[in-house]
């Protein structure tokens, strides 16, 4: 379903909330049917490298462009849930790398929940990447949010966590 369909629905004064919800549900089902397994296969077959845009991130951007950030964010949340349910570190790291590079404030607000939830995950790579999300997003208000969490047990990770808080506090 193209984004133009949403525009037509919104501009139509006769549209009911149910009609709109059904259209959005239909679009999301189409998105998942079309991209879910493909997305997981891309993650499975790629190597994540710092400073490089991954194939999965390119695919996420394509999905966001085609379906809008709301449905794309919901899609990433479903991928995240898959990673949690299957204890799949690679999927979770990929999700964190993708979300760390978004710049849309609404996407960041949505994805900050994923990053926060992974602070308690029992894997230092995951926690490191979750902290990195907040560092990359660079929002001063997140410093207070991070202060509500225990610092990680590993010294290097605790140092990074605290340095990130100080960095965010220092932003204008």
Tens digit of pLDDT at every position of the chain (172 positions):
444 444 444 455 555 555 545 556 888 899 999 999 999 999 999 998 877 899 999 999 999 999 999 999 999 999 999 999 999 999 999 999 999 999 999 999 999 999 999 999 999 999 999 999 999 999 999 999 999 999 999 999 999 999 999 999 999 8
CATH topology of domain 3-169: 1.25.10
* Rounded Cα–Cα distance for residues 118 and 157 (Å): 14
Determine the pLDDT at residue 64. 95
Residue ranges per structural domain of the chain:
3-169
- Contacts of residue 29, defined as CB under 8 A and 6 or more positions apart, other chains included, come to none
Total Cβ atoms within 10 A of residue 109: 12
Q: Are 29 and 51 in contact (CB under 8 A)?
A: no
Please report, for residues 21, 30, 94, 119, 131, the alpha-carbon distance to residue 25 in angstroms, rounded to integers and kept in the order given: 6, 9, 26, 31, 33
Burial of 57 (0-12, 13-18, 19+ CB in 10 A): buried
Q: Are 70 and 26 in contact (CB under 8 A)?
A: no
* Rounded Cα–Cα distance for residues 161 and 81 (Å): 24
3-state helix, strand, coil in the chain (%, to 5): 75, 0, 25
DSSP helix/strand/coil, 20:
helix
Q: pTM of the predicted model, to two decimals?
A: 0.85
* Rounded Cα–Cα distance for residues 152 and 124 (Å): 9
């Amino acid at each position: 379903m193209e984004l133009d369909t949403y525009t037509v629905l919104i501009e139509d004064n006769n549209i009911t909330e149910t009609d709109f919800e059904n259209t959005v549900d239909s679009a999301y089902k189409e998105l998942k049917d079309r991209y879910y397994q493909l997305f997981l296969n891309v993650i499975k077959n790629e190597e994540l490298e710092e400073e490089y845009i991954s194939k999965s991130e390119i695919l996420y951007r394509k999905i966001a462009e085609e379906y809008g950030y709301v449905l794309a964010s919901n899609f990433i949340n479903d991928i995240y849930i898959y990673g949690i349910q299957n204890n799949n570190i690679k999927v979770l790291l990929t999700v964190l790398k993708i979300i760390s590079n978004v710049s849309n404030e609404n996407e960041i607000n949505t994805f900050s929940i994923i990053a926060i939830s992974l602070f308690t995950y029992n894997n230092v790579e995951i926690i490191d990447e979750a902290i990195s999300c907040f560092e990359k997003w660079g929002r001063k208000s997140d410093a207070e949010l991070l202060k509500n969490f225990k610092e990680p047990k590993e010294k290097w990770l605790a140092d990074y966590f605290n340095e990130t808080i100080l960095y965010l506090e220092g932003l204008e």
